[in-house]
Amino acid sequence: MSAAAGRLTVLSGPSGVGKDSVIAAVRRRHPDVWLSVSVTTRPPRPGEVDGVEYHFVDQAGFDRMVEAGELLEHASYAGSSYGTPRRPVEQRLAEGKSALLQIDLNGARQIRERVPEARLVLLVPPSFDELARRLSGRGTEDTGRLHRRLDLARTELAAEDEFDEVIVNDEVEAAADRLVALLEI
């Protein structure tokens, strides 16, 4: 990587905005982009592999990681717990290499406190209606969970001013291009 070597970049955005799709597009073109694998208590979705998309743990295991200080940040989101393992990120940065985190608003706020030089990027939908369409189109959420995710999305989108950069995900490849430019690859 270029001048951004050793920089921590955080990508955040509401559920359904396309964070996974944008990151996948970036990594197809730049497989050397390192993405931290988060820990979660939510069950795997079809096709997800433990250790690839997430490290899937039960709540007791997650709580143990929090108590042991093993997480750089952690938060509850839509009824599940999520966190970023501390050691791999700190090791990457200590080696002068960049790291990319995909985390929620609360996690991004914790990173801002703990790593103030991190670049926070908010991925937003072209419209709230489009976000609702994407979430319901997944078919992975019951009605109650879908409404909780949409309520959380309103809160996340209202926090736009807390981020260094905002990328509108109107088209995945274009959003990936904008993220790559911020990563200075």
Count the domains in the chain. 1
Beta carbons of 81 and 75 less than 8 angstroms apart: yes
What is the pLDDT, as a whole number, of residue 1? 36
pTM over 0.75: yes
- The CATH number assigned to the domain holding 177 equals 3.40.50.300
**Given this model, what pLDDT does residue 77 score?**
73
- Domain-embedded: residue 2: no
User: Is 3 contained in some domain?
Assistant: no
CA–CA distances in Å: residue 146 to residues 3, 66, 117, 134, 140 = 41, 27, 34, 11, 9
Confirm whether 22 is domain-assigned.
yes
* Domain assignment of residue 167, yes or no: yes
In one letter, which amino acid is 1?
M
Residue 126 CA to residue 22 CA, distance in Å, equals 14
Confidence (pLDDT) at 185: 57
- 125: closest CA among 160, 100, 164? 160
Q: What is the pLDDT along the chain (185 residues), one digit of tens a residue?
A: 333 457 899 999 998 899 999 999 999 999 989 999 999 999 999 999 999 989 999 999 999 999 999 999 998 877 899 999 999 999 999 998 889 999 888 899 999 999 999 999 999 999 998 898 888 777 667 788 888 888 889 999 999 999 999 999 999 999 999 999 898 65
